[in-house]
Chain A
Amino acid sequence: MDLRETEAEQQFRAEARDWLEENVPHGLPSGDTQEGFALHLEWERALFDARYAVVSWPEQYGGRGASVWEWIAFEEEYYRAGGPQRVTQNGIFLLAPTLFEFGTQEQQDTLLPRMASAQDLWCQGWSEPGSGSDLASLKSRADKVDGGWKLNGQKTWTTRGAFCTHLFGLFRSDPESERHHGLTYFLVPLDTPGVTVRGFARLDGDEGFAEVFFDDAFVPDSAVLGGVGKGWSVAMATTGSERGLTLRSPGRYTATVDRLLELAADREPDDGEVQRLAQAWMDAEAYRLFTLQQVTNERAGRGRPGESSLNKLHWSELDIRLHELALDLLGPDAELEGPWSKGFQFSLSGPIYAGTNEVQRNIVSERLLGLPRK
């Protein structure tokens, strides 16, 4: 065990903390509205200019080549400083790791810098009206034509689709295929003729969702990521990032607990609430410790199957408990529009997106515990 940060890590953390304290904007409107999204982009570009947008990426693409430990530290400092949601997250945290693993050199060289600088804004086009948990039943098609593919079908619940410029999505490229065979991962500019996007409101009333329709939309062969027919395995690499560390790092929850403790100091928590506050702190800290162990194990080649699902179950249920406690502390004021009631509504989606928690429980029990499939 070595709990110390190296001198370089300490310095990295201190620099990030200073810069964030100076620069983090406070009180931005929700990034799930047209107006708010534009303001969030300004912030994303400021992060990029300071080379804090994608710290773990290589320098040539706008990063700092930071280690995973430094990345965790950066996230802690980011949320401690009250940094806003990352409206670029689906590109930088979900697509980028997949591009690093499966992209051609040319795809990496053209797409990554534009993603880091928030010029290209990526959304995730996987789910369809009839295919949510059962993603492998998806029906959107890609038909081979000269020099490329014609896309047809519909995606839905696409986060911030109405504000993004590009979509990464799964399409059935082999009409004879079934389930996870014959799928291909495509990278699609949303201004492609034949693509239409309709934004619609999520639970909190902001336009955070979109439906994306494809009507004979042509994309060139170079739009394929990771090979024709390989879509499922490429996509599964993304889900690892989505459920695990990159999308929801521990710093988010430790920072939420700090704010919860501040809230409690202004209210009069009863005995039950005091117990729950202590539990909240422990649960967020346990997530941090689990993460440190997980990273250590993975680097040592000791990763376990189903671990990213354990992670996802923990952070999503924790996030709801933190917000429920905040609303209980607020009592009758909990119903007022404000950061806690908004955060509560968002927390309720945690057990749904990135693979529902019911599905994660199946994965943990089957892959980690080895229970029979049915």
Chain B
Amino acid sequence: MYFGLPDDAVALKEGLREVLATACTPATIRSAWDGDPCDQLWKVLGEFGVPGLLVAEENGGLGLDELGFVAALEECGYAGVPGPVVETLTSLAVAPLPMDGSARVAVQALNGPTPHAAVSTHVLDLSGTLYELTKGAGEVTETVDRSRQLATFEGEALEIRLSDDDVALFERRGALGTAALLLGLARRQLDLTVGYVKTRQQFGAPIGSFQAIKHPLADAVVGTEFAWPAVLRAAQAIIDQDDDADLYVSMAKALASDAAYRMSRVCLQAHGAMGYTVEYDLHLFAKRTWSLSKDWGTASDHRELVAEHLGIRSDV
């Protein structure tokens, strides 16, 4: 029995952590809030092979599996990498596009304005059309996390054939990758908060010495710590093409959505008014968490799917 990331995924994760610490700072995220597509950061990701992580080695990719995928995405979450990260990695696995960071693919779930379309080079429609964007963003819809602005787009349509199985795999990876990203975002918020409550003094003591601060943080950590193994299990289920893959992916996304959301609440509260301003960095990670906790299926959508798998309910 061995339950954990394989060595190559651990090495990738550590390397990426080091690189992103300088390539993706809060200032980088803030520039994405102002509409910057962050080409330099994506170039660094490209040099690291991240966009083509799931692409076979003979096709120029890293040839990693879903365990490598969640390892990388957890770090991207920690750094708050802006743009369509999960979407690009999953799309490059089905569409032959450059893997050097120059291609960024947004995914259109419903017909209409699409998150990240304004900073992407392509939009993939899961019905099997890949658009190469020819113009800048069309009409923009503002989002609370401004790095996720929705936009309409215009582009040249390329047909790519996606079988039902391809689409199913794509959706599993989307939900799984987002779960990993969420847990990285949660870990970042936790680190910021632990650092803050150790130094912030009130009533002559660090606020981190109060049980009212410690206990909710500890509870939030229980949530995230128990969601991560579910992410690993789901990754392995996809690799093994388990019959239970959908069940485990839904479990991972439901647990990660709720745990990361809970973490964002606890961290904000522990900061007092200090965290309640856009001048401080916490909000950059909290707002992404709120969006992603409902992206690729909300926790409640995924719980319904779990219930269905368990035969608790068949009419959903």
Are A336 and B277 within 8 A (Cβ)? no
CA distance in complex: A209, B276 (Å): 10
B94 touches A (CB below 8 Å): no
CA distance in complex: A137, B278 (Å): 26
Are B295 and A332 within 8 A (Cβ)? yes
Q: Mark B286-302, 1 if CB is under 8 A from A, else 0.
A: 00001100110010110
Q: Which of A341-369 contact B (CB under 8 A)?
A: 341, 345, 348-349, 351-353, 356-358, 361-362
Are B272 and A200 within 8 A (Cβ)? no
Are B143 and A335 within 8 A (Cβ)? yes
B202 touches A (CB below 8 Å): yes
Are B283 and A335 within 8 A (Cβ)? no
CA distance in complex: A204, B290 (Å): 13
- B220 to nearest A CB, angstroms? 15
Are B210 and A358 within 8 A (Cβ)? yes
Contacts of B300 in A (CB 8 A): 270, 272-273, 328
Are A133 and B148 within 8 A (Cβ)? no
CA distance in complex: A362, B283 (Å): 28
- Report the count of interface residues on A (CB-CB < 8 A): 39
Contacts of A65 in B (CB 8 A): none
Contacts of B295 in A (CB 8 A): 332, 335
- Report the count of interface residues on B (CB-CB < 8 A): 33
Q: Which of B118-171 contact A (CB under 8 A)?
A: 141-145, 148, 150
CA distance in complex: A189, B158 (Å): 65
Q: Mark B263-277, 1 if CB is under 8 A from A, else 0.
A: 001001100110111
Could you say which of A328, A336, A349 contacts B142, with CB atoms under 8 Å apart? A336
B240 touches A (CB below 8 Å): no
10 extra A-B contacts, CB within 8 A, seeds A203-B277, A332-B109: A127-B273, A328-B300, A332-B298, A335-B144, A336-B144, A337-B142, A348-B268, A349-B273, A352-B269, A358-B213
B3 touches A (CB below 8 Å): no
- B93 to nearest A CB, angstroms? 23
Q: Mark A236-274, 1 if CB is under 8 A from B, else 0.
A: 000000000000000000000000000000000010110
CA distance in complex: A157, B276 (Å): 9
A331 touches B (CB below 8 Å): yes
Q: Which of A268-320 contact B (CB under 8 A)?
A: 270, 272-273
- B312 to nearest A CB, angstroms? 12
A201 touches B (CB below 8 Å): yes
Are B273 and A353 within 8 A (Cβ)? yes
B304 touches A (CB below 8 Å): yes
B203 touches A (CB below 8 Å): yes
Q: Which of A91-149 contact B (CB under 8 A)?
A: 127, 130-134, 137
- Assuming A335-B290, A335-B294, A336-B150, is B272 touching A132 (CB within 8 A)? yes
Give the nearest-CB partner of A337 in chain B: B142
Are A157 and B273 within 8 A (Cβ)? yes
Are B203 and A134 within 8 A (Cβ)? yes
Are A133 and B202 within 8 A (Cβ)? yes
Contacts of B269 in A (CB 8 A): 351-352, 356-358
B212 touches A (CB below 8 Å): yes
